[in-house]
Amino acid sequence: MSKQDQSSASVVQSLWLRLTLAFMLVGLLGVGAVAAVASQSTTSAFRHYLRQGQLADSQDLARQLEVLYSTQGNWEGATSLLARQSGRGRGATRGAEGRVQFALISLDGQLLASSPDWPAGTELDADTEEGGIPLQVNGEQVGVLVITTPAASALGAIEEAYLSQVRSALVYGATVAGAVALLVGTILAWRITRPIRWLTQAANRIAAGDLSQRAQVARQDEIGQLADAFNRMAANLAEADQARRRMTADIAHELRTPLSIIRGQVEAIQDGLFPADTDHLAPIHDETMLLNRLVEDLRLLALAEAGELPLVMETVDAAQWLSRVVNRFTPPATDKSVELVIDLPSDLPQVVMDQQRMEQAVSNLLSNALRYTPSGGRVSVTASAGGQLEIQVTDTGPGIPPADLNHVFDRFWRGESSRARDRGGSGLGLAIVRQVVEAHGGRVWVYSEPGAGATFSLSLPLPESGSTHAGQSYTPDGRP
């Protein structure tokens, strides 16, 4: 593993560790909070349950005492009844200090009877409502049953054992949940960081020059979207690198032919094989002009692609401008016996453009159409205006194979037959058309069927109502 891969792995491992610890911490905090709340709630609910049971026992004892007095007319036997009640029921599992104790008092506060463990010195007050249950017989109050409940913490052995088991179960559950949180957190962190590690490794290899690397991440979440964006970026980088290599090779190839001709002519003149007359200097001049045109085309493309191609925008009558451009190609069309037809509607609107740049673009389309239209063929130019101005140049040449349609606007592109070098051209004309049209905010496209000619179309936006342009210079990004 390279140093870059090791560095990325350590970063990912650190992220993996942090995610694992984060998942575990969240799990432990959640489980701990639940365990604490459950323990407190269980203890409180259990104590409430015991208190409710005690009160139920007290109500039952009060009914027994009322029946006793109603039957006997006195409180004889009340002491044994109170003693039995304090030794059974839900308080019987506690020690003497944890049981509910009862006392029977008269209306004037005299102690009539009590359970054996009634706390000595307890102040009795028959008028006290809290903690006492009035005893009534035939609608007349005959006494008060006074109750002392143990302190909330005074639970019996069985109750304490029960709560201890509940707490132990909660601790055990929290421990198991913490272990599960650690395991799940580790797995989730690994699943999250694994594609990131792949992306990092692929990025490092691309940075090292291997543009064939792709991230093998088959996911539909955000990381999967990141991987798809990364792969598209890598594909674009590879395509741009291939285009750069092809352009370098194409430029070298385009320069080699005229330079070879110039060199051969000059050496022949120097060696005395050719005289330095007009006939033998003409090829040197022609190839020099070809080189100059090639360099100028490359400069124009470079400016357009960098967004720095200056445009002198002005309002132009589309019909007059297009007629003038097309009429310039009447002589070469006549020489080649090609019919050149222009069909323009009478209501073509005005359009804002750089006349010189757009004339070059339309001229390239016309030159291309005449070059590949055989003698006796036809080249037609039409225009229409809807939301935009659309210009079409149609020829009756051999057409373009479907596989080549996506490349006709690439720099130095030539087909195997119909775009051979002997047909002329530098391979930059259509690339210039696209750059110039797009610099005007328009677009260009082609439709063709093999053997049925081709139709090149371009569209330009129409000016807004009331706007005027008189020789204003702009770059493609709209800066004057």
What integer is the mean pLDDT of 385-395?
90
Long-range contacts of 253-260 (CB under 8 A, 24+ apart): 253/412, 254/294, 254/412, 254/426, 254/427, 255/291, 255/294, 258/287, 258/288, 258/290, 258/291, 258/294, 259/287, 259/291
pLDDT in tens, 247-269: 777 677 667 777 888 888 888 88
CA atoms within 13 A on the CB side of 300: 24
Q: Is the pLDDT of residue 293 over 80?
A: no
314 vs 476: which has the higher pLDDT: 314
Q: Which has the closest alpha carbon to 51: 78, 17, 23, 89? A: 89
**Cβ–Cβ under 8 Å, residues 401 and 450:** yes
Q: Is the pLDDT of residue 471 over 70?
A: no
Q: What is the pLDDT of residue 390?
A: 92
157 vs 376: which has the higher pLDDT: 376
Q: Is the pLDDT of residue 419 over 80?
A: no
Q: What is the pLDDT of residue 474?
A: 41
What integer is the mean pLDDT of 266-288?
85
Q: What is the C-alpha to C-alpha distance for residues 431 and 450, in angstroms, rounded to an integer?
A: 21
451 vs 306: which has the higher pLDDT: 451
Q: Is the pLDDT of residue 31 over 80?
A: no
Return the structure tokens found at 356.
């010189």
Q: Is the pLDDT of residue 469 over 70?
A: no
315 CB burial (10 A radius; 0-12, 13-18, 19+) = middle
Give the chain's mean pLDDT: 76
Spell out the domains of the chain, with CATH numbers in brackets: 1-210 (no CATH), 236-303 (1.10.287.130), 308-474 (3.30.565.10)
Q: Which has the closest alpha carbon to 250: 452, 414, 422? A: 414
Give Cβ neighbours of residue 2 (< 8 Å, ≥ 6 apart): 204
Q: What is the pLDDT of residue 425?
A: 54
pLDDT in tens, 81-118: 887 776 554 444 444 444 567 788 888 778 888 877 67
369 vs 91: which has the higher pLDDT: 369
Amino acid at 16: W
CA 85 to chain centre: 73
Q: What is the pLDDT of residue 11?
A: 47
Q: What is the C-alpha to C-alpha distance for residues 454 and 444, in angstroms, rounded to an integer?
A: 13
Return the structure tokens found at 402.
């479907």
445 vs 405: which has the higher pLDDT: 445
What integer is the mean pLDDT of 2-28?
62
Q: What is the pLDDT of residue 392?
A: 93
Q: What is the pLDDT of residue 426?
A: 59
**Are β-strands 339-343 and 378-385 bridged in parallel, bridged antiparallel, or unpaired?**
parallel
- To the nearest whole percent, how much of the chain has pLDDT over 90? 10
Q: What is the pLDDT of residue 119?
A: 62
Q: Is the pLDDT of residue 39 over 50?
A: yes
Q: What is the C-alpha to C-alpha distance for residues 327 and 267, in angstroms, rounded to an integer?
A: 42
pLDDT in tens, 303-355: 777 677 788 888 989 899 999 999 999 988 999 999 999 988 888 888 998 88
- To the nearest whole percent, how much of the chain has pLDDT over 70? 77
Q: What is the pLDDT of residue 92?
A: 41
pLDDT in tens, 186-240: 777 777 777 777 888 888 888 888 887 777 767 777 777 888 888 888 888 887 7
pLDDT in tens, 341-358: 998 888 888 899 888 889
Q: What is the pLDDT of residue 260?
A: 84
94 vs 48: which has the higher pLDDT: 48
